[in-house]
A = this chain, B = another copy of it.
Amino acid sequence: MAATGHRAAPEHTHPDDVTVANALAALADPVRGTLVRELAGSADWTRTCGSFDVPVGKAALSHHFTVLRAAGLVEQRDEGARRVNRLRRAEFEARFPGLLDLVLRGD
């Protein structure tokens, strides 16, 4: 895995180590809901952090991704200067059955 960026590698939490309260809090935020829905519609590792259509600045976006990683929802890796993402769909579904589908339904 190429991790040559200047940033520290992102820390991750596996969904098995996430409480239901933290999972719900991560998904309750509308910006994070949008990030999750856009990721669900994209192939793994194709979306950079700057590629999402959300009305927040860089620092806020970085915070949202930190929350999503800590909730076991998103995995990130650095490819050179790019940080790319994937939704941890299968493992999150195994831990919290049906929850992601409710968010992806999005009504």
**How often does this chain occur in the complex, in copies?**
2
The listed residue (B22, B30, B102, B106) touching A99 by CB distance below 8 A is: B102
On chain A, which size bracket covers the interface? 20 to 34
Q: Restricting to A17-73, which residues have a CB under 8 Å from any CB of B?
A: 19-22, 24-25, 27-30, 33
Q: Indicate if A11 sits at the interface (CB-CB under 8 A).
A: no
B contact residues around A25 at 8 Å (CB): 24-25, 28
Task: Let me know if A28 and B33 touch, CB within 8 A.
Answer: no
Complex alpha-carbon distance, A103 and B33, angstroms: 19
16 pairs, A vs B, C-beta closer than 8 Å: A19-B107, A20-B33, A20-B103, A20-B105, A21-B28, A21-B30, A24-B24, A24-B25, A24-B28, A24-B103, A25-B25, A28-B28, A96-B102, A97-B98, A98-B99, A98-B102
* Given A19-B107, A97-B102, 4 additional A-B pairs, CB 8 A: A20-B103, A21-B33, A98-B98, A99-B99
